[in-house]
């Protein structure tokens, strides 16, 4: 870890307010990257609120939004992000085979057209830096314009999370080994 994470007793009033807001929310605990973001309390406040929305209040159920998050974690080889969101994806009911395929950079087989379009859009955003007209039209047909906006939000926000976790070298919990090569 490149950064000393502050305990609540070491935080400024601004930092403590953001920390307290994060533990009072649906997460119940501060998201790890927020602990780094607290070095910029206002950024931490806005980013944590956005993260709470993207995690709990998009049009997608957890097992669908976790596809975009896992694609992002894999794209950035973000070991901590992968570790945390693989567990959340499994808890949300995502097929372990889909998770393994994303980890191994294979295109998963999807039964659900919504899951497939979230995967396809996320992959296209990360690898192609955009979305073709045909993929966009298909995505709007399946998830609507709000869904497309929220896929972009998930990929963008979790890119910032992955960059934060990678830059400050957040380690996995003791005894855990990364699945990402």
> Taking the chain (181 residues) in consecutive chunks of 10 residues, what is each chunk's mean pLDDT?
89 93 83 92 94 95 97 97 96 97 97 98 98 98 98 98 96 91 78
Q: For residue 72, what pLDDT is reported?
A: 98
pTM for the structure as a whole: 0.94
Residue 100 has a pLDDT of 98
pLDDT of residue 22: 87
Assigned fold of 62-167: AhpD-like (1.20.1290)
pLDDT in tens, 116-149: 999 999 999 999 999 999 999 999 999 999 999 9
Amino acid 23: pLDDT = 86
Distant-in-sequence contacts of 63-66, Cβ < 8 A, 24+ apart? 63/89, 63/92, 63/93, 63/94, 63/115, 64/112, 64/114, 64/115, 64/118, 65/118, 65/150, 65/154, 66/92, 66/94
Q: Residue 79: its pLDDT value, please? A: 96
Nearby residues of 21 by Cβ (< 8 Å), 6 or more positions away: 45, 48, 49
- Determine which helix (DSSP H) or strand (DSSP E) holds 43, and give its type and residue range: helix 41-56
- Find, among 179, 180, 161, the residue nearest to 170 by Cα: 161
Read off the pLDDT of residues 39-54 as tens digits, 9 standing for 90 and up.
999 999 999 999 999 9
């Amino acid at each position: 870890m490149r950064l000393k994470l502050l305990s609540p007793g070491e935080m400024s009033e601004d930092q403590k307010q953001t920390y307290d807001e994060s533990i009072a929310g649906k997460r119940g605990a501060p998201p790890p990257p927020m602990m780094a973001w607290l070095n910029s309390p206002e950024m931490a406040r806005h980013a944590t609120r956005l993260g709470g929305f993207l995690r709990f209040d998009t049009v997608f159920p957890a097992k669908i939004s976790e596809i975009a998050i896992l694609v992002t974690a894999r794209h950035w080889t973000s070991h901590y992000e992968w570790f945390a969101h693989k567990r959340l994806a499994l808890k949300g009911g995502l097929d372990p085979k889909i998770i393994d395929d994303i980890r191994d950079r294979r295109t998963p087989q999807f039964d659900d057209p919504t899951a497939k379009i979230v995967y396809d859009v996320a992959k296209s955003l990360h690898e192609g830096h955009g979305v073709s007209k045909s993929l966009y039209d298909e995505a709007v047909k399946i998830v609507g314009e709000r869904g497309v906006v929220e896929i972009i939000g998930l990929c963008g926000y979790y890119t910032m999370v992955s960059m934060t976790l990678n830059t400050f070298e957040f380690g996995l919990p003791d005894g855990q080994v990364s699945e990402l090569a």
